[in-house]
């Protein structure tokens, strides 16, 4: 019996549909190359069942293997279009409190005024 996590069981239908479409596109690329499932598994250093799970759109498929599949088909650049940053990457800065700030949990006089 396979072990299932709650995150897999709770996968949204829209996510499952997107993964199924990705699997279909990957399948189409494989067929266009004339490669078998065994060929793909050997190229990706994974089992045939793992590769079948990718083409079937299973949510348990490894993103690393999917990235390697995209690379094999010359589609690795498509990963750069996933989840674009909501702000420029250069704007991401660590926030540090100045050394002159009071200890955590203390309220300064400025903060007491409403």
Dump pLDDT digits (tens) for 16-32. Answer: 999 999 999 999 999 99
Asked if the structure places residue 28 within a domain, the reply is yes
Residue 105 lies in a domain: no
Which residues constitute the domain of residue 39? 9-80
pTM of the model: 0.69
Query: What stretches of the chain show up as alpha helix (H) in DSSP?
Result: 6-9, 13-33, 37-44, 48-55, 63-72, 109-112
CB 8 within 8 A of CB 59: yes
d(CA 27, CA 34): 11
DSSP assignment letter at 103 = P
Question: In 3-state terms, what secondary structure has residue 35?
Answer: coil
Q: What pLDDT is stored for residue 84 in this prediction? A: 82
What are phi and psi for residue 50, nearest 5 degrees? Answer: -65, -45
Q: Tell me: pLDDT of 107 over 70.
A: no
Q: What is the pLDDT of residue 31?
A: 97
Judge contact between 70 and 51, C-beta under 8 A: no
- CA-based torsion, 24, 49, 65, 76: positive or negative: negative
pLDDT of residue 49: 97
Number of domains in the chain: 1
Residues 42-62 have pLDDT tens digits of: 999 999 999 999 999 999 999
For residues 76 and 88, the model is more confident at 76
Q: Is residue 105 helix, strand or coil?
A: coil
CATH of the domain at 28: 1.10.260.40
Is there a domain that residue 106 lies in? no
Burial of 72 per CB tally in 10 Å (0-12, 13-18, 19+): middle
């Amino acid at each position: 019996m396979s072990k299932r996590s709650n995150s897999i069981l709770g996968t949204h239908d829209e996510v499952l549909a997107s993964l199924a479409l990705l699997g279909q596109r990957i399948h189409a690329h494989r067929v266009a190359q004339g490669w078998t499932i065994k060929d793909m598994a050997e190229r990706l250093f994974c089992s045939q069942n793992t590769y079948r799970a990718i083409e079937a759109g299973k949510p348990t498929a490894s993103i690393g293997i999917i990235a390697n599949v995209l690379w094999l088909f010359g589609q690795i650049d498509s990963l750069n279009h996933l989840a674009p940053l909501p702000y420029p990457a250069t704007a991401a800065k660590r926030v540090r409190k100045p050394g002159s700030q009071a200890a955590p949990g203390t309220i300064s006089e400025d903060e007491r005024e409403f």
